[in-house]
Amino acid sequence: MIDNQTVERIQGAAQIYDVVSDFVSLRKRGVNWVGLCPFHEDSSPSFYVSPAKNICKCFACGEGGTPIHFIMKHEQMSYPEALKYLAKKYNIEVRETELTEEQKQAHNDREALFIINGFAQKTFSNQLFISEEGQNIGLSYFRERGFREDIIKKFLLGYALEERDAFTQTALKAGYKQSLLEKVGLTIVGEHNYVADRFRGRVMFPVQSLSGKIVAFGGRVLQKEAKTAKYVNSPESEIYHKSNELYGIYLARQAIVKQDKCFLVEGYTDVISMHQTGIENVVASSGTALTIGQIQLIRRFTNNVTVLYDGDSAGIKAAVRGIDLLLEAGLNIKIVLLPEGEDPDSFSKKQSATAFHDYIQAHEEDFVQFKTGLLLQDAGNDPVKKAHIINEIVATIALIPEEIIRLVYVKECSRLLDMDERVLVRAIAAKRNELLLRKKPTTHPNENTNNTPVGATRAVAQNTDTQNTNTPTGAQQNATSDDTQPGQPQGSAPTISPLDPYERNLMYYVIRYGEKNMTYVDDETQETLSVNVIESIVQDLQTDELELVNPLYKKILDEAFAHYQDENFVSESYFQNHPNPYISHFAVDVSTNKYIESKVHSKYKKVVTEEEKLLELVLYAVLNYKDAILKQQMDDINRRMAEAQTRQDADEQQQLVIQLAELWRKSKKELALHLRERIITKI
């Protein structure tokens, strides 16, 4: 794990202009720099870089953050990976904290497998270009497929020699253990000391994880007479789980985000050929049925998926069955049927990127409509077959989570199937009930199965403590070498509490001025005293036993209170550089978009800065929050009184009247304090 001092050195060294300008063309505008946003299709410059604050912000799509979080978003890296990226850029040595012996062993074993795969990839690539066998067989094959040398190197393609244990012997001589070679699946060990390479006489396709690490290989045999499988793939291992990987995702991730679309194809060469054409937002399921893990990987970057099929009708019918999972995940699925005899590999080689996109736009079809039309072709006038098709389409539409989208499909499918909409609606409702019963949770019915509390914002829905790589426990949580990233939020955003604007206003002062001290004169002693902003807010809330509703704000306030007395604590910088991206993004948003430092003009025409009136402003923020809570409580009591009156429950009405009177007294007390402080602190 990266130690805190290294993290602080990276944060101190990384300059937002240096980092962003590596990817975005910037021009000066006042004290800031501006350019086209790399996170959405930006026609006019809306992406601002502030060297003074060391943050960036797009005022169109809202993306932004510190240098670390810019790299996380742009390069689709985890927090520790972004730290290491910047450490390399600024020549900072990455020091890691001491692990237990068990942690060291587990970490070392896992890293060793990555290292071995990296060594294997370099060996196979070298053999492709340097060895006579590799050039004559492997390189010739790739060139016959029309792959340029730069594309071959981009995808790290290689060749495994025909000799039985050529790679194993090379790896052993280089110092790698046979047990680990076997564990990662590169070497096969049998009885009577039998040792052989898994991949022999094959062109090699390395599979990269989201962070670019080699996790597995696919090998294609070239000799037609060979009585062996055409493709051999790495077995499952500690670092490779087939159901969680997509071929090409590492090279496609940025293009998918920018285009807000992912093309899904079947094989390695489909991905490679489309890249060579200039279409980079493409991944492959590598010939296997789509899995939940692969779908969640796509969802990190986009909700829009276009599946490309060749003209093989039998293959299409088998493949469409696996797409139901995409619909169930709430993704927007389109289908493109390529001309007869073409697949994504062959078709893309005949097209420019523009022509390819034009073809897709002209032939893209909604999946449900495509599936309906495809099945109807086989049904003809057979009523039994048609009934079977209707049941299959109903089952597909029932998987879609959004009701409005389901209704749109019902309307269209009722036309295509010549069915009454009401019949389809009833059938879909019955199917959804059946699905819900199958997925019925095992938790107690009174348990809250939703981890996001009511009143949280969408940002909080993303900020769950289950995301262990990005949820901190302190100022600089030790970064792990985990190869994962937090997933995208699922489902709709929870209801926002009516108190959220007031709590957000408190967070503004906590983040913007948290470490500042506010001076005031004691009424009795006339002594000039000072109180810290964070301490003042916390004490005011504790006095009335109040706790923030929004868990993200509560987390920020708790952490601020834990560190406000630290000698070098600067609240704005601390939270903007926070390892939790949701806290960091919120802090950046507070510092830029909606909260601009105000200037108050006094009766003497003197411009008073926000910081000079901080005591009054913080007091108002707390009082307004308390006032909002009292009003909410009184509204609730009035509602309950109306219900009690309807039930003619006199005892409950009497109790509620007493509670309401107490709240009124409390409200008047708060108002009196509000007015008193306003008189004392007026300019």
DSSP, residue by residue, 223-271: -TT--S-SEEEPPP-SS--GGG--BTHHHHHHHHHHHT-EEEESSHHHH
Q: Nearest to residue 394, comparing CAs of 367, 361, 428, 369?
A: 428
194-203, 468-477, 571-580, 650-659, range with greatest mean pLDDT = 194-203
pLDDT value, residue 150: 94
pLDDT value, residue 239: 87
**What is the spatial distance between Cα 85 and Cα 107, in angstroms, rounded to a whole number?**
20
Model confidence at 623: pLDDT above 70: yes
- Banded pLDDT at 196 (limits 50, 70, 90): very high
Q: Nearest to residue 346, comparing CAs of 273, 266, 267?
A: 273
pLDDT value, residue 267: 87
Model confidence at 682: pLDDT above 60: no
DSSP state letters, 335-392: EEEPPTT--HHHHHHTS-HHHHHHHHHHH-EEHHHHHHHHHHHHHTT-HHHHHHHHHH
pLDDT value, residue 593: 47
* pLDDT tens per residue across span 570-598: 888 888 888 787 888 888 887 764 433 34
- Banded pLDDT at 52 (limits 50, 70, 90): confident
**What is the spatial distance between Cα 674 and Cα 617, in angstroms, rounded to a whole number?**
11
Region 138-146: mean pLDDT is 93
Residue 481: burial class (beta carbons within 10 Å; 0-12, 13-18, 19+): middle
pLDDT value, residue 238: 87
Model confidence at 446: pLDDT above 50: no
The pair of three-digit structure tokens given for residue 270, joined into one six-digit string = 């489909």
Lowest mean pLDDT of 70-79, 456-465, 671-680, name the range.
456-465
Q: Nearest to residue 572, comparing CAs of 526, 510, 622?
A: 510
Range 32-40, long-range pairs (CB < 8 A, 24+ positions) = 37/61, 37/63, 38/74, 38/258, 39/63, 39/73, 39/74, 39/257, 39/258, 40/258, 40/260
The pair of three-digit structure tokens given for residue 35, joined into one six-digit string = 């350019």
Going along the chain from its start, the domains and CATH numbers come out as: 4-89 (3.90.580.10), 101-240 (3.90.980.10), 249-438 (3.40.1360.10), 458-596 (no CATH)
- Banded pLDDT at 51 (limits 50, 70, 90): confident
* pLDDT tens per residue across span 251-279: 998 888 788 899 999 889 999 999 999 99
- Banded pLDDT at 444 (limits 50, 70, 90): very low
Helix, strand, coil percent content, the chain, rounded in steps of 5: 50, 15, 35
Region 511-525: mean pLDDT is 81
pLDDT value, residue 476: 36
**What is the spatial distance between Cα 579 and Cα 564, in angstroms, rounded to a whole number?**
18
Region 340-368: mean pLDDT is 85
Region 281-293: mean pLDDT is 80
Region 19-46: mean pLDDT is 85
Region of 404 please: left (phi>0), alpha (psi -120 to 50) or beta: alpha
CA angle 201, 273, 185 (to 5 degrees): 35
- Banded pLDDT at 492 (limits 50, 70, 90): very low
Region 132-157: mean pLDDT is 94
Model confidence at 335: pLDDT above 90: no
Lowest mean pLDDT of 153-162, 284-293, 362-371, 644-653, name the range.
644-653
- With beta carbons less than 8 A apart as the criterion, state whether 343 and 310 touch: yes
Model confidence at 668: pLDDT above 60: no
- With beta carbons less than 8 A apart as the criterion, state whether 500 and 99 touch: no
Please give the C-alpha separations between residue 589 and each of 21, 474, 503, 504, 583, in angstroms, as whole numbers: 21, 21, 15, 11, 10
Residue 530: burial class (beta carbons within 10 Å; 0-12, 13-18, 19+): exposed
Tell me whether strands 55-58 and 528-532 are parallel, antiparallel or unpaired. unpaired
pLDDT value, residue 105: 64
Sheet holding 32-35, edge to edge: 27-29, 32-35, 47-50, 55-58, 64-65
Model confidence at 126: pLDDT above 90: yes
Model confidence at 248: pLDDT above 90: yes
Tell whether pTM > 0.95: no
**What is the spatial distance between Cα 304 and Cα 295, in angstroms, rounded to a whole number?**
11
Please give the C-alpha separations between residue 226 and each of 157, 229, 283, 380, in angstroms, as whole numbers: 22, 8, 29, 44
Higher pLDDT, 452 or 573: 573
Q: Which amino acid is at 673?
A: L
| Distant-in-sequence, close-in-space partners of 362: CB < 8 Å, separation ≥ 6 | none
pLDDT value, residue 65: 85
pLDDT value, residue 314: 55
Higher pLDDT, 157 or 335: 157
**What is the spatial distance between Cα 562 and Cα 138, in angstroms, rounded to a whole number?**
61
* % of the chain at pLDDT higher than 70: 79
Lowest mean pLDDT of 52-66, 230-244, 546-560, 645-659, name the range.
645-659
pLDDT value, residue 201: 92
Q: What is the DSSP letter of 545?
A: T
**What is the spatial distance between Cα 47 and Cα 28, in angstroms, rounded to a whole number?**
12
The pair of three-digit structure tokens given for residue 61, joined into one six-digit string = 């799509």
pLDDT value, residue 661: 66
SS (H, E, C) 553-615: HHHHHHHHHHHCCCCCCCHHHHHHCCCCHHHHHHHHHHHCCCCCCCEEECCCCCEEECHHHHH
pLDDT value, residue 280: 93
Model confidence at 103: pLDDT above 90: no
33-42, 90-99, 438-447, 489-498, range with greatest mean pLDDT = 33-42
- With beta carbons less than 8 A apart as the criterion, state whether 295 and 369 touch: no
Region 361-372: mean pLDDT is 83
**What is the spatial distance between Cα 287 and Cα 640, in angstroms, rounded to a whole number?**
61
Region 412-441: mean pLDDT is 78
Region 593-605: mean pLDDT is 43
pLDDT value, residue 463: 33
| Average predicted confidence (pLDDT) for the chain | 78
Lowest mean pLDDT of 15-19, 135-139, 630-634, name the range.
630-634
Region 601-627: mean pLDDT is 73
pLDDT value, residue 247: 94
Sign for the CA dihedral angle at 473, 479, 484, 485 comes to positive
| Distant-in-sequence, close-in-space partners of 532: CB < 8 Å, separation ≥ 6 | 514, 515, 516, 517, 518, 564, 565
- With beta carbons less than 8 A apart as the criterion, state whether 66 and 16 touch: yes
Region 174-193: mean pLDDT is 91
CA angle 109, 113, 114 (to 5 degrees): 120
Q: What is the DSSP letter of 135?
A: I
Higher pLDDT, 656 or 163: 163
Model confidence at 66: pLDDT above 60: yes
- Angle of helix 101-130 relative to helix 166-173, nearest 10 degrees, comes to 130
| Distant-in-sequence, close-in-space partners of 643: CB < 8 Å, separation ≥ 6 | none
- With beta carbons less than 8 A apart as the criterion, state whether 181 and 168 touch: yes
Tell me whether strands 304-309 and 332-337 are parallel, antiparallel or unpaired. parallel
**What is the spatial distance between Cα 133 and Cα 135, in angstroms, rounded to a whole number?**
6
- With beta carbons less than 8 A apart as the criterion, state whether 182 and 213 touch: no
- Banded pLDDT at 388 (limits 50, 70, 90): confident
- With beta carbons less than 8 A apart as the criterion, state whether 35 and 27 touch: yes
**What is the spatial distance between Cα 629 and Cα 626, in angstroms, rounded to a whole number?**
5
Model confidence at 374: pLDDT above 90: no
Look at the block and give the residue holding tokens 């998926």. Answer: 305
Higher pLDDT, 588 or 481: 588
**What is the spatial distance between Cα 370 and Cα 320, in angstroms, rounded to a whole number?**
10
